Amino acid sequence: MAWDFETEPDYKAKLDWADDFVRREVEPLDLAFRESAAPYDRRNPIYKRITDPLKAEVRRQGLWACHLGPDLGGAGYGQVKLALLNEILGRSNWAPNVFGCQAPDSGNAEILAHYGTEEQKRRYLRPLLDGEIVSCFSMTEPQGGADPREFRCRAVRDGDQWVINGEKYFSSHADLAEFLIAMVITNPDVPVHQGASMFLVPREAEGLTIVRSPGLGGEPLGHGHHAYIRYEDVRVPRENLLGGEGQGFLIAQTRLGGGRIHHAMRTVAVVRRALQMMCERALSRRTQGGPLAEKQLVQQAIADSFIQLEQFRLLVLYAAWHIDKGHKSEARTYIAAVKVQTAEVMHDIVRRALHLHGALGCSNEMPLINMWMACR
Ligand SMILES: Cc1cc2nc3c(=O)[nH]c(=O)nc-3n(C[C@H](O)[C@H](O)[C@H](O)COP(=O)(O)OP(=O)(O)OC[C@H]3O[C@@H](n4cnc5c(N)ncnc54)[C@H](O)[C@@H]3O)c2cc1C
């Protein structure tokens, strides 16, 4: 009988360690350094001085870059164990960086490992895995994101080089990255799943301009980290093609599947935190002659949130299990279901938590508005 909801004791001990470590050492960083992209800023000496010893401790515990196999410096635990770890790390904006498994670097590392040449791995993958640099995934365009058939950014061959022209939008952390992985049309005469390719583009490449830096709602205009980029005659050598010519779509699918489920795993943590805050508020706040917790509507809000969270968590773990088992078709279906539910569950539970916190919930002294922004 293989169905089992227990965690093996050795790994449970590691999770307990991670839970305590994140609470004591990492969550305080969220309060001290609140800027959303701060954990990605490898050039800031203060962040480096604080996080280097924490990363070293994570390595000692064998929990560094857990999304990767041992050949790439990870523990090769698989997706179910990664889900259990991410249920802890997702509580903190800093924790994924301290544990070496933050998006988009985790997905970028995976495709470099799968499709990169030895030289590409040496130059780009190694420092990425060591946490020395961060990277960017540059795919979405101003006129279309959900449908790659709308992409117009083009690359053409010129001798031993490729020349890239076009625009990209919401290329997260391009301003902090050492390199970008750009998905670009190399053959417009065939369907996009055969006509797109991926290129490794150094951030300092001539002709690459960050036109604007949109942020998320609530962040001051022009100070975000989701770059609007113009590529104007950006030249990269032939060796910077990642995988084969025309393989861009295939590579993107490999990457986005992992990215989606990892976001979902961390969302379990965010939503659990919102539920815990709701419970705390219900017990501590008095109105109409008694604590909020005694009101039946409040009890229902908490019960509905608990049920939604637990259902979502099981769906995420089931999707992760399909990936571990190599059930490709089922994994695709369940990752798609998880993607839809991630936004819905987070939206519903954070909305209830916000409501119960009244004015305090809407204030910038609480994390609830940031959670609300992150739902989509
Ligand atoms: C915080 C954040 C970070 C991001 N980081 C990156 C990044 O690092 N790199 C990157 O390349 N991109 C990034 N993106 C962009 C993201 O990948 C796109 O937003 C996403 O692919 C959707 O594209 P779009 O925004 O252009 O929406 P659109 O394509 O304009 O879609 C608009 C609406 O149409 C709906 N729609 C789509 N198809 C159909 C259909 N057949 N029928 C009915 N409705 C449909 C969509 O669901 C959506 O509701 C990021 C986005 C966010 C919010």
Atom 44 in ligand 1: residue holding the nearest Cα: 146
Residues whose CB falls within 8 Å of the CB of residue 20, separated by 6 or more in sequence, listed in order: none
Q: What is the CATH number of domain 250-374?
A: 1.20.140.10
Residue range 217-226: mean pLDDT, rounded: 88
pLDDT at 71: 78
CA of 328 to the centre of ligand 1 (A): 24
Residue 213 has pLDDT above 80, yes or no: yes
Residue range 177-200: mean pLDDT, rounded: 97
Whether 171 is in the pocket of ligand 1, judged by its Cβ within 6 Å, is yes
Q: How confident is the model at residue 344 (pLDDT cuts 50, 70, 90)?
A: very high
Give the CA angle between residues 159, 137, 249 to the nearest 5°.
70
Whether 226 is in the pocket of ligand 1, judged by its Cβ within 6 Å, is yes
Average pLDDT, the chain: 95
Atom 19 in ligand 1: residue holding the nearest Cα: 145
pLDDT at 259: 81
Residue range 170-197: mean pLDDT, rounded: 97
Q: How confident is the model at residue 244 (pLDDT cuts 50, 70, 90)?
A: very high
Residue range 173-182: mean pLDDT, rounded: 97
Q: How confident is the model at residue 23 (pLDDT cuts 50, 70, 90)?
A: very high
pLDDT at 222: 83
CA distances from 159 to 162, 236, 246 (A): 8, 11, 18
pLDDT at 69: 81
Instruction: Select from 336, 373, 327, 332 the least CA-distant residue to 351.
Output: 373
Residue 161 has pLDDT above 90, yes or no: yes
Atom 31 in ligand 1: residue holding the nearest Cα: 146
Which has the higher per-residue pLDDT, 145 or 202? 202
CA of 145 to the centre of ligand 1 (A): 5
Whether 139 is in the pocket of ligand 1, judged by its Cβ within 6 Å, is yes
Whether 225 is in the pocket of ligand 1, judged by its Cβ within 6 Å, is no
Atom 24 in ligand 1: residue holding the nearest Cα: 145
Residue range 248-261: mean pLDDT, rounded: 84
CA of 147 to the centre of ligand 1 (A): 8
Atom 49 in ligand 1: residue holding the nearest Cα: 146
CA of 140 to the centre of ligand 1 (A): 8
The class of domain 9-116 in CATH terms is mainly alpha
Atom 48 in ligand 1: residue holding the nearest Cα: 146
**pLDDT 10s digits, 29-88:** 999 999 889 999 999 999 999 999 999 999 999 999 998 888 777 788 999 999 999 999
374: number of Cβ within 10 Å? 18
Q: Which of 135, 140, 184, 256 to mutate to test the pocket of ligand 1 (most atoms within 8 A of CB)?
A: 140
pLDDT at 3: 83
- Domain segments of the chain as ranges: 9-116, 135-242, 250-374
Give the CA angle between residues 344, 172, 188 to the nearest 5°.
95
**Residue 66 corresponds to which tokens in the numbers above?**
């857990």
pLDDT at 220: 87
Helix H, strand E, coil C: the string for the chain is CCCCCCCCHHHHHHHHHHHHHHHHHHHHHHHHCCCCCHHHCCCCHHHHHHHHHHHHHHHHCCCCCCCCCHHHCCCCCCHHHHHHHHHHHCCCCCHHHHCCCCCCHHHHHHHHHHHCCHHHHHHHHHHHHCCCCCEEEECCECCECCCHHHCCCEEEEECCEEEEEEEEEEEECCCCCCEEEEEEECCCCCCHHHHEEEEEEECCCCCEEEEECCCCCCCCCCCCCEEEEEEEEEEEEHHHEECCCCCHHHHHHHHHHHHHHHHHHHHHHHHHHHHHHHHHHHHHCEECCEEHHHCHHHHHHHHHHHHHHHHHHHHHHHHHHHHHHCCHHHHHHHHHHHHHHHHHHHHHHHHHHHHHCHHHHHCCCCCHHHHHHHCC
What is the percentage of the chain residues whose pLDDT exceeds 70?
Answer: 100
pLDDT at 343: 97
CA of 254 to the centre of ligand 1 (A): 18
Residue 257 has pLDDT above 90, yes or no: no
The correct answer on CATH 2.40.110.10 for the domain covering 135-242 is: yes
Instruction: Select from 267, 376, 374, 373 the least CA-distant residue to 319.
Output: 267
Residues whose CB falls within 8 Å of the CB of residue 173, separated by 6 or more in sequence, listed in order: 37, 40, 104, 134, 135, 136, 225
Whether 198 is in the pocket of ligand 1, judged by its Cβ within 6 Å, is no
Would 135-242 and 250-374 be classified into the same CATH topology?
no
**Residue 341 corresponds to which tokens in the numbers above?**
């539910």
Residues whose CB falls within 8 Å of the CB of residue 108, separated by 6 or more in sequence, listed in order: 128, 135, 137, 181, 255
Residues whose CB falls within 8 Å of the CB of residue 114, separated by 6 or more in sequence, listed in order: 243, 251, 254
pLDDT at 196: 97
**pLDDT 10s digits, 351-364:** 999 999 999 999 99
CA of 141 to the centre of ligand 1 (A): 10
Whether 370 is in the pocket of ligand 1, judged by its Cβ within 6 Å, is no
Distance CA 119, CA 284 (A): 58
Q: How confident is the model at residue 1 (pLDDT cuts 50, 70, 90)?
A: confident
Residue 102 has pLDDT above 80, yes or no: yes
What is the percentage of the chain residues whose pLDDT exceeds 90?
Answer: 87
Q: How confident is the model at residue 254 (pLDDT cuts 50, 70, 90)?
A: confident
